[in-house]
Structure 1
Amino acid sequence: MYIAAAVLSVLLALGSLAAGAPKALLKGDVPAALRSHMGLSAGLVRFIGVAEVAAAVGLVIGLFWQPLGIAAALGLVVTMIGAVGFHAKAGDYADPTTRNNALSPLAFLLLAAATAVTLGLAM
């Protein structure tokens, strides 16, 4: 069970780092789209990015100290629930042009939940 937990943790950490770094630095298309399309402030976008990067670090450290990995995965679950809510509020799930981007937080939510459960079972 630990191997599955480790694989899920690494995958989630890589995805979280890749998604969070541009937001934390406010560089690229995603932070600009979050600010213009969703109406989020630059500070909130940066906070979300820093939280995602911190979760990636927590997941990697969680490979050696599992309670931190579980906490990081659960933190991502909460963050992704918020992201799904913001996308739903913006109507992204009904619009075919924005639906694909809006499904990413849902996939991360499911992966984070599976990682948290798997890490918990591996303890």
Structure 2
Amino acid sequence: MFIAYTAVAVVLALMNTGTATAKIRGLEPAVSGMKAAGVPQSWFVPLALLNLAGAAGLLIGIGWRPLGIAAATGLLLYFFGALGFHIRTGEFKGAPMALVFAVLSAVAIGLGVAST
């Protein structure tokens, strides 16, 4: 399970780092769904920092599993919030990607728990 957790943690960390960078730089694919869902632009950088914190926690969690599990749990809650924003506004453009991130976060939690 350790190898599977490591693989999922690295992939999820890279995905979160990429989306955080895109949010900070204001790149259109990353921010158009957020704008359409009604997320204020002033939230983009703080949300990106949460993505980066989750990515760092996942990577550190390879060596110290409780932090990895906590980071994956935080990311799962983050992406549930993102899905909630999309559902509340009826804008589903960014919902599939948020769902992918949420599922990978849940998988990381499961693998992290199983490999402790």
Counterparts of 1:48 and 1:80, CA distance in 2 = 11
- The question of whether the paired residues in 1 share the 8 Å contact of 2:14 and 2:55 is answered with yes
Counterparts of 1:89 and 1:21, CA distance in 2 = 26
Q: Percent identity?
A: 31
Structure 1 residue 33: Cα displacement: 4.7
Q: Gapped runs of 5+ residues in structure 2?
A: none
Q: How does 1:1-123 map to 2 (within 5 A)?
A: 1-23=1-23, 25-29=24-28, 30-35=30-35, 37-93=36-92, 98=93, 101-123=94-116
**1:57-108 deviation digits (Å, cap 9, x = unpaired):** 1111111111111111000000000001111112124xxxx3xx32000011
Q: What's the secondary structure of 2:63's corresponding residue?
A: coil
Taking structure 1 as the reference length, the TM-score comes to 0.86
Matched letter for residue 122 of structure 1: S
Number of residue-to-residue matches in the alignment: 115
Counterparts of 2:101 and 2:14, CA distance in 1 = 11
Structure 1 residue 46: Cα displacement: 1.4
Runs of 4+ in 1 over 3 A off after TM superposition: none
- The question of whether the paired residues in 2 share the 8 Å contact of 1:21 and 1:50 is answered with no
Structure 1 residue 32: Cα displacement: 5.0
Q: Gapped runs of 5+ residues in structure 1?
A: none
- The question of whether the paired residues in 1 share the 8 Å contact of 2:51 and 2:75 is answered with yes
Counterparts of 1:106 and 1:15, CA distance in 2 = 13
**1:24-56 deviation digits (Å, cap 9, x = unpaired):** x24211225523x22322221211111001111
Counterparts of 1:32 and 1:114, CA distance in 2 = 27
Q: Flag the structure with larger Rg.
A: 1
Matched letter for residue 27 of structure 1: G
Matched letter for residue 19 of structure 1: T
Counterparts of 1:102 and 1:81, CA distance in 2 = 10
RMSD: 1.4
